[in-house]
Structure 1
Amino acid sequence: MQINQEAPLRPDDPRKVGRYALLGRLGEGGQGVVYLGRAAEGGLVTVKLLRGGSGASDRARARFVKEADAARKVAAPQTARILDARLTGERPYIVSEYVKGPTLQDMIAGEGPLAGAELKKVAVRTAAALAAIHRAGIVHRDFKPANVVLGPKGAKVIDFGVARSFESGTPQTSHPVGTPAYMSPEQIEDDPVGPKADVFAWGATMVYAATGRPPFGRGPSAAVMRRITDREPDLGELKGSLRGLVARCLDKQPAARPTATEIVRFLRAEARPAPPQPRKVPRYRSRMIYALMAVMALGFVLGIVLSG
């Protein structure tokens, strides 16, 4: 689901849901509409309202419940926290932390690619978010630039709309779901999907952040998905150690990709300053020191002989 800047409420939008006043629209997708809301205590929140309300299908309601359950299991500063939820009644909704800021997609589209320290900050925070999601036994399955919000305290991952649990690290098979440009080969081919699918999506998202375009191009969904399964990614201007890491994340084989935790460790190790190296004494200076020591030793010996 794309989260945009606030837009006015439409005539058919509710003005209040539960104890939350709705102030404007933030975005919408196939599952529901996301609103900017204000809690009774006065704080701003994000309210996701299930599309169709009481007329929503059992399947849509079940997916909505799964989203809330998945998001509640994840407790990390790099993800938007679930604050409240009502999953029954005429208007099921999920209330989450409001993160003020543009999505990564909007930022890159408006201001151009990231580079240097700014790119690495987004890389490590989003990888840390995925690591926390995976520790909770969840696969996000729709990680992409539109689901990364660049808030005042750094990047945060949002929208667990197609997330699902996995048992003891064993992937679960499901029909293909996600955003084509950031889907892994196993999602496209309807193979078992596990945490490594999120790692592939992270790699594709980092390419977009660094170059302004996804690694397998744009165009009709079928064409993009065919490139993902059959062609090598275009990493563009992505440079340095991050380029090699991203290339590993975009490997066609899930087993060849690093885990999200390994990505975080690699990035944090890269960010640490190198330990100070012992100062080397120039060779000519060391020779002078040895010569001086020899002269001093000889003088000491001569002094003993003469005094005797």
Structure 2
Amino acid sequence: MDAPTPGTVIAERYRLTRPLGAGSSAVVWEAQDSSLDRLVAVKLLHGGAAAHPAGREQLRREALALARLSHPRVTTVFDYIEWQDGDGDFQPVLVTELLAGLNLEDRLEQGPLLENDARLACAQLASALEAVHQVGIIHRDLKPGNVMLMSDGVKLLDFGIAQASSDTDARTGLVIGTPSCMAPEQLTGRGALPASDVYALGCILYWSITGRAPFEGETVDDVVKGHLHRLPPPLPTAGLPPQIAGIYRQCLAKDPMERPAAATVAAVLELRGAPAEIPGAVRPTANRTMVMQPYDASPPSSLAAQQQPAYMGPRVPQQSVPDDDDGGSYPAQPTFPGPPPPRRYNWIWMLLGALVIAFIAAATTALFMKGSQAEKQTKSAPPPGITAKTTPSGSATAPSGSATSSSGSPTPSTPSSSGPASTASPTADPNANPLAYLEGIRSQIDGFIAQGATVMDPNAGRDLQNSLTDLESSVQKAQQHGMKGGYLRDVQDKTDQLGSQVNDDQGQGLVNDTTASALSGELQNFSDALSNGGGDNGNN
């Protein structure tokens, strides 16, 4: 069979104009549809694939898969024909809409996307996957190279190795897909599931934000070992709400049963920001679609003691959107460790910080005690500290006469109150009463705000208190569920986020070094308590 050339007319309708791209088995042409006077994309097999029945069947399956879908984020199929060329050979031809844009893999060669753009693109991909899974199809080869960035969003491409969710590729004894984005169950030959596409989506989310695949290596084996045995690298959290990092970790769970459905991922990835702008290499082998022998899921001896093993359970049916016990927008998070906690400070700096804080507190107290106490006394008491009485539910209550907001939260004191807000370290046991411990940190922040912008910028302090309120809410919810599982994981995530916020404020000069050191130390103590015992499992 002679290769088609520009000007070739297929089925007396599609005139080929120029090639758009080629893969190992097919080439895509731009063509003019004479019947409807429009430009289309025509996919033709070439080389051995055109002569091999399996290659022709693969293109036919792609046409059938696309024909079952009708979604703005999935390529639209226009036609599928069996064309008889001049030599009398039959060639399958797939005709789809012509997309004007840039391949995501090409775009990422130039660097990562902005956080909002990456979030938007992956939210649209999740929506496409939701539609794909609803009609019983598994893509099996989701990767940046199969995503097109366009002026109005993204399009999911290339269903060449897609299969019905009722099929199995485990029986062939071969692994088909792109190693950089393949789930552990695919790599070990147990077959693909809808959850396998969700795993690949998590890889694309990390790739889009960082500019690199989550697991890299010099060889395909190095990449596969990462997927099977290593924890996913933490997603940079700057500029991202905490639920994005949480859903990313869920997507990359080794166990497919712990991954959320595509519909859940689409709900969590908020559609904010504009689509990525369209601007225009030899790529690692692991980034290409491959047919491989299945890998052994057993970790090497050097990794077995320190890395998480791959999931070894049986095949599972197609998953549905999990029920969220607390009515939230996404399910409980996996229980494997998340990103590292905020950086620890050297104990010498902690000691010096404590001495400086004590000196500042003493000097501030002396200033407030000068003059007439009657003129400086107000009806407001300092915010409740760690020594306040606690209720049976575990939350600290203000001393008699202390000011609270209408919601019950303590109202920060000002320098005109009866005394300066306390900056003393919390004295409550974070294991026995985590809420009371957090109230002590809140009181510390009040005290730092009262000392002026050289110690803590007031707006930064209010932001920290808002984050602290969110953390306290998560603690209360976790206590209701025994401080276990995804609820405990959520508390740990928010603690890490708050620590990162303190570090960011310090870097911007909004919080001085001594104050940041003190707060980071308290948050580290709280995080350690969660890791060691998960807090008190009751509500006391």
Query: Would the TM-score normalized by the shorter structure come out above 0.5?
Result: yes
Kept after mapping to 1: 8 A contact 2:244/2:268: no
| SS of equivalent residue, structure 1 residue 237 | coil
Question: Match of 2:253?
Answer: 251
Shift of 1:50: 1.6
Q: Name 2:120's counterpart in structure 1.
A: 121
Instruction: Tell me the alpha carbon deviations over residues 56-95 of structure 1, each in whole angstroms, 9 at most, x when there is no partner.
Output: 2111111111111111111100011001111464221101
Task: Kindly indicate whether the alpha-carbon contact (under 8 Å) linking 1:21 and 1:37 is maintained by their aligned counterparts in 2.
Answer: yes
Kindly tell me: are residues 139 and 87 of structure 1, through their superposed partners in 2, closer, same or farther at Cα, counting changes over 3 Å? farther
Whole-Å separation in 2 of the counterparts to 1:33 and 1:58: 17
| Number of the residue aligned with 1:206 | 205
Alignment partner, residue 267 of structure 2: 265
Q: Distance between the aligned counterparts of 2:125 and 2:271, measured in 1?
A: 16
* CA–CA distance in structure 1, aligned partners of residues 180 and 234 of structure 2: 14
Closer, same or farther: CA 257–28 of 1 in aligned 2, 3 Å: same
CA RMSD, 1 decimal: 2.6
Q: Secondary structure at the match of 1:155?
A: strand
Q: Match of 1:227?
A: 226
Q: Which amino acid aligns with 2:261?
A: T
TM-score by length of 1: 0.78
Provide the residue aligned with 1:241 in structure 2. 243
Instruction: Report the Cα offset of residue 118 of structure 1.
Output: 1.5
For 1:53 and 1:221, the matched residues in 2 are separated by: 25
Q: 1:65 aligns with which of 55, 60, 63?
A: 60
| Residue in structure 2 matched with residue 97 of structure 1 by the alignment | 97
Q: Call closer, same or farther: CA 1:227–1:152 in 2, change over 3 Å.
A: same
Deviation at 1:188, TM superposition (A): 0.6
Aligned partners of 2:64, 2:139: CA distance in 1, in Å?
A: 12
Q: CA 1:23–1:171 in structure 2 vs 1: closer, same or farther (change >3 Å)?
A: same
Q: Map of 1:102-251 to 2, 5 A cutoff?
A: 102-110=102-110, 112-167=111-166, 173=170, 174=172, 175-237=174-236, 239=240, 240-251=242-253
Tell me the CA shift for residue 268 of structure 1.
4.3
- Which structure has more RCO (C-alpha within 8 Å, separation ≥ 6)? 1
- Is structure 2 residue 41 aligned with structure 1 residue 39? no
Consecutive unaligned residues of structure 1, counting only runs of 5 or more, are 1-10, 272-278, 285-308
- Distance, in Å, in 2 between the alignment partners of 1:20 and 1:186 is 41
Alignment check: 8 A CA contact 2:108 2:208 kept: yes
User: What is the identity percentage for the equivalent residue pairs of Structure 1 and Structure 2?
Assistant: 32
DSSP-derived class of the 1:86 partner: strand
Structure label with greater radius of gyration: 2
Q: CA deviation at 1:166?
A: 1.5
What's 1:305 paired with? none
- Answering whether residue 84 of structure 2 is matched by residue 85 of structure 1, we say no
Matched-pair contact (CA < 8 Å) for 1:28–1:34: yes
Q: Name the TM-score, length of structure 2 as normaliser.
A: 0.46
Q: Which runs of 5+ in 2 are unaligned?
A: 85-89, 274-404, 412-540
- State the distance in 2 between where 1:206 and 1:231 align: 18
CA distance in 2, matches of 1:132, 1:224: 30
Q: Give the counterpart letter for 1:96 in structure 2.
A: T
Question: Which stretch has the larger CA shift, 230-239 or 220-229?
Answer: 230-239
Structure 1 position 189, deviation (Å): 0.2
